[in-house]
């Protein structure tokens, strides 16, 4: 507690020492701001639903005064000149808004603005003020793709946020049927996944083919691939921050969709002094299999999943809003027959209560209380040999932060985040005498402070500091973060970032199977994982309506984890994991077009990932399974007319690494034949499978169904039926060893029908 108080005192001193734009003495880089000016603040919303809008540009025409709305749709403008001014608001997918206001001496005005939606195919007009606002933003390695475009990308007939993000450069998967995100050399457990402030520990449904997030429930997707600011912590690689829809405050409406894999439905509308949203999705494969005759010799697995999203938003007054959010997902897989039975299940539950409050003209606060539970269990009986694995993690988190819009050039944000954890891990094989049974309770505390400051017309700076303290291990860490942006030319900016990151949690996982994920904390037997990010980025506009980003990155990793495959007993975390070090570096090119009849992007990434563990691979450095040297992706979406729109995706990647066999040997008891089933492995992940590539196409036809808006969706997965290799194993049943490849899915055409009401 004493360390937490020292950290809080240090953050206060840092904040007070930061120079503001209200300095009495003019300097070379600061402009003296007139005393007699006005301020303007408020919320920007969608005119049809009153949903708050994120990252809308609000500016004063003819000046360099402007800002972006935050995650809650709030903006604040300071030092507005006196007299008649024109306020301009713009956001991709909405008509540009202009309103004339009169600013009096020391005026403080509240102006809530509603934007009218329009097709993102409409050409966007960018104004000078928008460029000025962009100069003040330090968004290193942040990907901005409208949710409307992400929702158009369908894989196997299903729109999916995670699958869409996999088409970005630097975002990899272990296979084409996995929705786990390997970002810039980091494993999925190194990504912080948030939904309305709640942590989600396994964002995939069983087998990883689709994620747990229903795209109908999501209004904003923020992906930061590295160098993220101090407000985010507890992970080494990346942040994926999802915001659920608040619901339509103007009218009741719903959506229903029926597909070959699953169906989904949602409803939203006004409620009290606000709105609600509820949406669900369920597969019915288990129902179809239940109708088939039972075959005990060749049994079929029974598999199913469902997920549910819900949110209630209420306006308590002009300065206060309350949001109650919930998320639920569940999967099950059972098999019985042919001498084996097993039951497998996993699920996520998350809920959050968020309160936002506006203090005066330029101080905005958010208090978020959340709870999250991840549970997985696996039990079975193979010819009398019983086994059981169970893992659960429960966390209760309080996060409170203040955002101070000190001036048009300076924003300060700081806060506290504390979590109470409860971990349980049980592993049994055969008799009860050989088992691992861990139960750990722990508390973590974090304080953070960050500053965004425009030093000159051409240079912006972001600086932050995060303090972490873990109760059980009595470890504290300091994580500085820095980023800078410099406008070299009108359409060319260079950005750089450096940061230190620490991770408290560890994940035992199999890269090809997401249902064995086991989370454990950092106790006093292991050191916390850490990473250092170094990023250099160039941002330009090569052609009208096109954006080009080129990123270079280097990442040092320390005390990362690898599960001990032979562990059968344990009383502490070091009995389950090896600890080692790693490094990752590479480059990414991302060319994007957001507006017009044709939209999409092209991306290429080259990456190098290495890991080293003293007790793995003879202590020699090796590349992890998910290392892919080359990654090329193309995404295109075309709106032909009001009825038809099309999309296509193409990927080409280096094959994933695998451990090849060098030989096999046999052993036997006296008088018995020799069993040559033992494989001698070679260099760990020293070989690479053939390159993978795949083409998917979609077509959507807009029509009506009994007078209601409807869409018929046609999807062809893996158009030319390229069955890439999932994994390779060695069959030793015969005298000659056979190399066998388990291949992925062939071409799969699907249909879905969607109705809005």
Kind of pairing between the strands at 113-115 and 38-46: parallel
DSSP string for 278-309? EEEEEE-HHHHHHTSPP-SSSPPPEEEEEEEE
Contact 389, 516 (CB under 8 A): yes
Let me know if residue 208 belongs to a domain.
no
Q: Are 232 and 239 in contact (CB under 8 A)?
A: yes
Question: pTM for the complete prediction?
Answer: 0.86
Say how far apart CA 502 and CA 478 lie, in whole Å.
9
Two tokens, residue 310? 């819900």
Asked if residue 174 belongs to a domain, the reply is: no
Domain at 41, CATH number: 2.60.40.1120
Contact between 644 and 700 under an 8 Å Cβ cutoff? The reply is yes
CA 451 to each of CA 68, 231, 464: distance values in angstroms, whole numbers, following the listed order: 16, 11, 6
688 inside domain: yes
- Provide the residue range defining the domain that includes 671: 243-756
Dump pLDDT digits (tens) for 191-236: 998 988 888 887 776 555 667 777 888 888 889 999 999 999 889 9
Shared-domain flag, residues 476 and 612: yes
**How many independent structural domains does the chain possess?**
2
331 and 479 assigned to the same domain:
yes
Rounded Cα–Cα distance for residues 337 and 341 (Å) = 6
Between CA 243 and CA 599 the distance in angstroms is 24
Any idea what the Cα angle at residue 715 is, between residues 711 and 717, rounded to 5°? 165
Q: Do residues 77 and 58 lie in contact, with contact meaning Cβ atoms separated by under 8 Å? A: yes
Q: Which of 524, 444, 442, 534 is nearest to 497 (CA)?
A: 534
Instruction: State both tokens at 186.
Output: 């980091």
Same domain for 250 and 129: no
Same domain, 266 and 120: no
On whether both 264 and 128 belong to a single domain, the answer is: no
- The answer to whether position 210 is within a domain reads no
- The per-residue pLDDT for 669 is 65
What was the pLDDT predicted at 596?
84
Answer yes or no: do 250 and 375 share one domain.
yes
Q: Which of 135, 161, 186 is the last residue of a domain?
A: 135
Residue at 237 is within a domain? no
Task: Examine the domain organization and report whether 272 and 388 are in the same domain.
Answer: yes
Q: How far apart are CA 182 and CA 680, in angstroms?
A: 29
For the chain, which ranges sit under pLDDT 50?
A: 1-34, 126-127, 512-515
Q: How many C-beta neighbours within 10 Å does residue 143 have?
A: 22
Is 177 domain-assigned?
no
| Total number of residues shown for the chain | 757
pLDDT of residue 570: 65
Whether 527 and 668 share a structural domain: yes
pLDDT in tens, 482-536: 999 999 988 899 999 999 999 988 876 655 444 456 777 777 788 889 999 999 9
Domain finish residue from 118, 135, 152: 135
Under a CB-based contact definition with an 8 Å cutoff, are residues 311 and 340 in contact?
A: no
Residue 18 lies inside a defined structural domain of this protein? no
Furthest C-alpha separation in the chain: 103
In a domain, 685, yes or no: yes
CATH number of residue 608's parent domain: 2.40.170.20
Of residues 627, 389, 370, the one with CA closest to residue 518 = 389
For residue 674 the two structure tokens come to: 């020799």
Closest C-alpha among 343, 138, 141 to residue 237: 141
Short-list 222, 175, 170, 169, CA closest to 195: 222
**216-227: burial string, b at 16+ Cβ within 10 Å, e else:** bbbbbbbbbbbb
Tell me which residue of 18, 102, 86, 73 sits closest to 315, measured CA to CA.
73
> Of 94, 109, 135, which residue is a domain's last?
135
């Amino acid at each position: 507690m004493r360390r937490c108080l020292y950290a809080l005192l240090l953050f206060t001193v840092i904040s007070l020492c930061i120079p503001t734009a209200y300095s009495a003495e003019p300097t070379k880089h600061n402009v003296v701001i007139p005393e007699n000016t006005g301020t303007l603040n408020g919320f920007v919303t969608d005119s049809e639903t009153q949903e708050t809008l994120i990252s809308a540009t609000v500016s004063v025409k003819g000046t360099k005064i402007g800002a972006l709305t935050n995650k809650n749709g709030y903006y604040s403008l300071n030092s507005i000149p006196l007299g008649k001014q024109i306020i301009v608001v713009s956001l991709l997918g909405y008509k540009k808004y202009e309103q004339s206001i009169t600013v009096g001496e020391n005026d403080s005005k509240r102006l809530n603005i509603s934007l009218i939606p329009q097709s993102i195919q409409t050409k966007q007009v960018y104004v000078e003020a928008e460029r000025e606002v962009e100069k003040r933003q330090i968004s290193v390695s942040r990907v901005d793709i409208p949710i409307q475009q992400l929702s158009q990308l369908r894989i196997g007939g299903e729109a999916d946020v995670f699958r869409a993000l996999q088409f970005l450069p630097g975002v990899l998967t272990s296979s084409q049927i996995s929705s786990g995100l390997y970002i810039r050399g980091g494993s999925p457990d190194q990504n912080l996944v948030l939904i309305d402030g709640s942590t989600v520990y396994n964002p995939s449904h069983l087998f990883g083919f689709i994620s747990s997030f229903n795209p109908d429930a999501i209004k904003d997707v923020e992906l930061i691939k590295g160098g993220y600011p101090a407000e985010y912590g507890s992970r080494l690689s990346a942040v994926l921050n999802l915001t659920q829809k608040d619901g339509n405050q103007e009218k009741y409406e719903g959506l229903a969709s029926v597909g070959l894999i699953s169906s989904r439905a949602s409803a939203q509308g006004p409620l009290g002094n606000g709105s609600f949203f509820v949406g669900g999705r369920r597969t019915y494969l288990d129902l179809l299999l239940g109708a088939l005759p039972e075959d005990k010799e060749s049994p079929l697995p029974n598999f199913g999943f469902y997920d549910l999203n819900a949110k209630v938003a209420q306006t308590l007054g002009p300065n206060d809003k309350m949001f109650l959010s919930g998320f639920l997902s569940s999967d099950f897989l059972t098999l019985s027959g042919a001498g084996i039975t097993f039951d497998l299940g996993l699920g996520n539950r998350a809920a959050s209560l968020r309160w936002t409050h506006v203090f005066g003209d330029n101080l905005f606060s958010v208090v978020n209380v959340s709870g999250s539970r991840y549970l997985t269990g696996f039990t079975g009986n193979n010819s009398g040999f019983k086994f059981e694995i169970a893992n659960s993690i429960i966390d209760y988190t309080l996060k409170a932060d203040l955002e101070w819009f000190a001036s048009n050039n300076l924003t300060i944000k700081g806060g506290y985040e504390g979590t109470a954890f409860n971990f349980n891990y049980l592993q049994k094989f055969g008799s009860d005498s050989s088992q691992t049974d861990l139960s750990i309770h722990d508390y973590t505390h974090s304080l953070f402070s960050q500053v965004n400051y425009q030093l000159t017309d051409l240079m912006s700076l972001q600086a932050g500091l995060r303090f972490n303290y873990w109760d059980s291990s009595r470890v504290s860490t300091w994580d500085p973060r820095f980023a800078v942006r410099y406008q070299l030319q009108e359409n060319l900016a260079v950005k750089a970032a450096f940061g230190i990151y620490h991770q408290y949690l560890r994940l035992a996982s199999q890269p090809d199977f997401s249902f064995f994920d086991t989370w454990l904390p950092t106790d006093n037997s292991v050191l916390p994982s850490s990473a250092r990010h170094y990023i250099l980025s160039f941002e330009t506009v090569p052609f009208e309506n096109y954006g080009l980003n080129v990123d270079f990155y280097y990442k040092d990793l320390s005390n990362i984890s690898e599960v001990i495959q032979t562990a059968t007993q344990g009383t502490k975390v070091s009995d389950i994991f090896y600890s080692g070090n790693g490094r990752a570096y590479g480059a990414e090119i991302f060319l994007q077009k957001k507006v017009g009849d044709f939209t999409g992007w092209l991306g290429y990434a080259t990456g190098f990932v290495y890991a080293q563990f003293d007790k793995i691979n003879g202590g020699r450095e090796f590349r992890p399974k998910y290392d892919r040297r080359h990654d090329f992706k193309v995404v295109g979406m075309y709106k032909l007319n009001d009825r038809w729109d099309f999309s296509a995706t193409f990927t080409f990647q280096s094959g994933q690494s695998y451990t090849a066999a060098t030989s096999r040997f046999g052993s036997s008891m006296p008088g018995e034949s020799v069993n040559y089933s033992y494989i001698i492995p070679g260099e760990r992940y020293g070989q690479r499978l053939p390159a993978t590539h795949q083409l998917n196409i979609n077509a959507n036809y807009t029509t009506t169904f009994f007078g209601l808006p409807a869409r018929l969706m046609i999807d062809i997965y893996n158009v030319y039926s390229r069955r890439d290799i999932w994994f390779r194993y060695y069959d030793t049943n015969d005298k000659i060893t056979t190399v066998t490849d388990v291949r992925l899915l062939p071409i799969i055409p699907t249909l879905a029908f969607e109705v809005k009401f």
